């Protein structure tokens, strides 16, 4: 598909979604939701958002043996912002392009590695969802006996610290096995210690995402339990995989959040409002990431000129 056609499809999709939202949403509720944002929780959510991207850099650095400096951190951050803002996964092309500009790797070498990482991330989300479902079905009492919290009527939404701990143990065991499979693609993951670090970085990344979503929902007045957060993660992963979507994930974000909030028992109008207001907050976070990446790149360029 040509670039002009991709841009046209993205713009038309964005316009159609805006028209659909305008016809179905009471924007007064959205405005009220944004006006009542808990700024302290939103700031903590932004910090968790940045931490997730920081650990993504460490994972990239491990795989491609990048140095820990401002240029490569800026590349990682810029890629994170572009991959969210540009539709149809066009932002994924920025990382291999910038890596080639820095003389680190070839374009297709980095693009192929990035594809494997994305597949691994999808596997992480699926394993996490399967772990929640498995523990919820076969050990529904864990949340009560170890966490002291009541079970929901649906076993899938059982909650409690014991339930969460059991999910994490099952997930870590699954990821250790999965890391052995992906190690065949990367020379830097041949050793057991390297694979373990890869798993640790991945766990930190997705823990940051879960915390970010929890704080974001909480800042907007919605409290999501651990299984609901996993459902949101699962829905977002597959919603953003839809090849046709609007700019900055417009449509995909709303779909994932609306389904999760409705499943959590929140009223339809409020779920629609939160799905829109949360998207506004996330876009502001992404723009903040882009600004930080630009400042790091500018600083690295100036330092290089001074050194020369």
pLDDT tens-digit readout, 6-49: 667 767 777 777 777 777 777 787 888 888 899 999 999 999 99
Residue 224 has pLDDT above 60, yes or no: yes
Each residue's pLDDT tens digit, 127-179 = 777 777 776 655 555 444 333 333 343 433 344 555 566 666 667 766 666 66
Domain boundaries defined on the chain: 3-307
Residue 100 confidence class, pLDDT cut points 50, 70, 90: confident
pLDDT of residue 105: 74
> Which pLDDT belongs to residue 205?
92
- pLDDT reading at 260 higher than 70: yes
Min mean pLDDT across 54-58, 67-71, 179-183, 217-221 is at 179-183
* Residue 59 in this model has a pLDDT that exceeds 60: yes
- The share of the chain scoring above pLDDT 70, in percent, equals 77
| 264-289 per-position pLDDT tens digit | 889 888 888 899 999 999 999 999 99
As a whole number, the mean pLDDT across the chain is 80
- Residue 143: predicted pLDDT: 44
* Confidence (pLDDT) at 177: 66
Q: How far apart are CA 77 and CA 54, in angstroms?
A: 8
pLDDT at 89 over 70: no
pLDDT on residue 167: 66
Supply the pTM of this predicted model: 0.82
């Amino acid at each position: 598909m040509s670039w002009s056609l991709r841009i046209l499809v993205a713009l038309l999709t964005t316009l159609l979604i805006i028209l659909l939202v305008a016809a179905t949403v009471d924007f007064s509720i959205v405005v009220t939701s944004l006006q009542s944002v808990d700024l302290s929780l939103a700031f903590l959510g932004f910090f968790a958002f940045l931490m997730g991207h920081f650990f993504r850099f460490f994972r990239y650095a491990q795989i491609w043996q990048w140095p820990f400096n401002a240029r490569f951190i800026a590349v990682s951050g810029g890629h994170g912002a572009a991959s969210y803002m540009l539709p149809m996964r066009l932002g994924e092309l920025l990382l291999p392009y910038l890596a080639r500009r820095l003389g680190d790797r070839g374009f297709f070498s980095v693009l192929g590695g990035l594809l494997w990482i994305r597949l691994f991330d999808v596997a992480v989300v699926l394993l996490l969802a399967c772990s929640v479902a498995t523990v919820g079905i076969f050990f529904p009492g864990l949340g009560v006996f170890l966490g002291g919290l009541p079970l929901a009527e649906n076993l899938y939404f059982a909650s409690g610290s014991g339930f969460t701990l059991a999910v994490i143990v099952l997930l870590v065991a699954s990821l250790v096995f999965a890391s052995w499979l992906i190690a065949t693609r990367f020379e830097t993951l041949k050793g057991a210690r390297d694979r373990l670090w890869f798993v640790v970085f991945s766990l930190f990344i997705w823990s940051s995402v879960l915390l970010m979503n929890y704080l974001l929902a909480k800042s907007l007045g919605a409290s999501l339990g651990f299984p609901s957060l996993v459902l949101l993660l699962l829905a977002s992963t597959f919603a953003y995989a839809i090849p046709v979507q609007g700019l900055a994930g417009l449509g995909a974000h709303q779909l994932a959040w609306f389904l999760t909030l409705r499943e959590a028992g929140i009223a339809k109008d409020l779920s629609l409002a939160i799905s829109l207001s949360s998207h506004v907050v996330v876009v502001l976070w992404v723009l903040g990431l882009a600004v930080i990446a630009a400042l790091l790149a500018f600083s690295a360029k100036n330092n290089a000129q001074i050194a020369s």
